[in-house]
Structure 1
Amino acid sequence: MALHHETPLLESRPLSLKAGCVVQLKMEALQPSGSFKIRGIGAACERHARNGKRRFVSSSGGNAGLAVAYAGRRLAIPATVFVPETTTERARALIRQEGAELVVHGASWQEANERALEAVDAETAFIHPFDDPILWEGHATMIDEVVTAGAAFDAVVLSVGGGGLMAGVAEGLARNGMQDVPIVAVETGGAASLAASIKAGRRVELPGITSIATSLGARRVCERAFELARSYPVESVVVSDRDAVGACIGFLDDHRVLVEPACGAALSVAYAYPERLSKYERVLIIVCGGATATVRQLLEWRES
């Protein structure tokens, strides 16, 4: 029993006109937990449940924790989610709404993750928010769905935080014989650990997260994401918080769907930098979603 849904694939007329190519949207914002995270996390939780684990523990900036909380409720297994102080009140409320225990600790995800690991025992499954091959295998199913639908594309645009989505998309492309299709990997300034690692030629850790896109707030990408950036056709793009927020508002106007700035980062390439997409004929944008922002917050961020 998969905990994720098969999501719609839509052609965006507004973004196609902006970018000068066909823009297709994989609508992961419509997953039951609000983001793509439930694909991999749901698969991991189901596997651990079959193996007899009686509790889930996870660390998260928001959306991964929400996916763990949702999976725990659906599987009738208690979940505890550790989040940093930067996690929004909206995200905290949604995690509690799913029935999970919430623990707030530390200034960034790294500190919350360290505390989460201390809470793991023999009966507990630790659910990593992005660095786990089980998650990547689950996330890859979104590419399987697009290919099964018969949709053609010659580039994939996605947001990068810890790199789990990028690793999953790359796996999905490879297992469908599309490993030569480039990935446009988008981060916000202040959370751009992949771009910093590419520039340095080694995986580096940011001193802190200053972006409002806190769901992208891993100070260091996973090793797999960095390996892909070095061996795979990956184009790294860094956008501003203002670009990401503007894309969220534009997307709400154009498609009546609310996403958070972590998702707006990928969308902003079409809204603010369409020339980066015009060299392609058909582009797939992963609308990764995110349930932790409100319309009021987006408007406040735009003004500030």
Structure 2
Amino acid sequence: SFKIRGVGHLCMKLKQREQQCQRVICSSGGNAGLACAYACLKLHLKSIVVTPITTSNRIRTLISEYGSEVITQGGVWNEADEFARRLVEKDEGSSVYLPPFDHEDIWIGVSSIIDELVEQLPTDMKPYAIVQSVGGGGLLNGILYGLKNYSEWSDVNVIAMETEGADCFSQALKAKQLVTLPAITSMAKSLGALTVSSKSYELSHLFNLHSYVLPDAQAVQACKQFLDDHRMLVELASGVSLAFIYSNLFNEEKKQIKLPSNCTDESPIIIIVCGGSGITMESLTQLCEQFNLN
């Protein structure tokens, strides 16, 4: 639910600040567009969601069912985003641009995940690590914003997971500067930002952050295993986070991941399981066949 936490919070703020706003225009590979359409429906705002051609017809239909106009433009999200920005410019003040991940109000909304973890865990317990996937960086920024609000949680390990071919964050950390990928070659299209948020790169140096990149096949295998274990169907953006455990990566890297203060080996690992709208049983079966996982 992190998309509706963040995008919903931003939509509410936009309605408060932009009194003359007649329409919200958002670009999205899928999940942010769904959140925008739903939030605008509840806030009685008109909306347009611009998606790239890689967004499935199913997702476009779901977005339109919430009342948004859906426009398909560009081969990747970045191209759809450029088109959305041009639409806003042409409207000359009657429309407001809504970014899918790169805005502080989105990160503040997402940070409520940490508020709820603090509330739900026993007072003397904090996580060993929090695992999430990284696309554009909205979820990661929200988690880091949340951790900043609780000094006793500031040393919690943050695990940033990406798939090969959608790993702009990992490449930025290695290059020590933002990196723009030439293309998205991963099947995890909802992680398909060519460049990560500059705030993600900035905040990464302030926390115990560990970045890992896995092949699509391991993300698909994790989706399959999670379905068997919990009867929940999630897309590859979640699968790559689940693969941190399912692929045995955690056990392999455990010596490199230090225990936070007041934690033990029994302290919980929190995995943010997000993104189920872009997957069906049929598409997961096809992915399993593609990677010979049946």
TM-score, normalisation: structure 1: 0.86
Q: Distance in 2 between matches of 1:117 and 1:183?
A: 32
C-alpha offsets along residues 127-152 of structure 1, whole Å, 9 cap, x if unaligned? 11111000000000011001011252
Q: Does the 8 Å contact 2:31/2:275 carry over to 1? A: no
Deviation at 1:98, TM superposition (A): 1.3
Aligned with 2:28 (options 60, 70, 74): 60
Deviation at 1:278, TM superposition (A): 5.0
Q: Does the 8 Å contact 1:84/1:106 carry over to 2? A: yes
Match of 2:172 in 1: 197
Match of 1:107 in 2: 75
Q: Distance in 1 between matches of 2:74 and 2:191?
A: 16
TM-score, normalisation: structure 2: 0.88
More relative contact order, 1 or 2 (CA 8 Å, 6+ apart): 1
Is 1:282 the counterpart of 2:253 in the alignment?
no
Runs of 4+ in structure 1 over 3 Å off: 276-281
Q: Distance in 2 between matches of 1:82 and 1:246?
A: 31
Question: Structure 1: which 5+ runs fail to align?
Answer: 1-34
C-alpha offsets along residues 48-107 of structure 1, whole Å, 9 cap, x if unaligned? 122322211100111001100111111121110011111122211211121110111111
Match of 2:141 in 1: 167
Match of 1:80 in 2: 48
Deviation at 1:36, TM superposition (A): 1.5
Match of 1:31 in 2: none
Q: Does the 8 Å contact 1:56/1:79 carry over to 2? A: yes
Match of 1:258 in 2: 233
Q: Distance in 1 between matches of 2:184 and 2:32?
A: 18
Question: Structure 2: which 5+ runs fail to align?
Answer: 256-264
What percent of counterpart residues are identical?
42
Is 1:136 the counterpart of 2:133 in the alignment?
no
Q: Distance in 2 between matches of 1:84 and 1:124?
A: 20
Read off the aligned partner of 1:288 and give its amino acid letter: C
* RMSD of aligned Cα (Å): 1.4
Equivalent residues in 2 for 1:151-300, closer than 5 Å: 151=122, 152-177=126-151, 178-272=153-247, 273-276=249-252, 280=265, 281-300=267-286
Structure number, greater radius of gyration = 2
Aligned to 1:130, the other structure's residue is in SS state: coil
Q: Does the 8 Å contact 2:10/2:106 carry over to 1? A: yes
Deviation at 1:228, TM superposition (A): 2.1
Q: Distance in 2 between matches of 1:239 and 1:137?
A: 28
Aligned to 2:233, the other structure's residue is in SS state: coil
Q: Does the 8 Å contact 1:277/1:283 carry over to 2? A: no
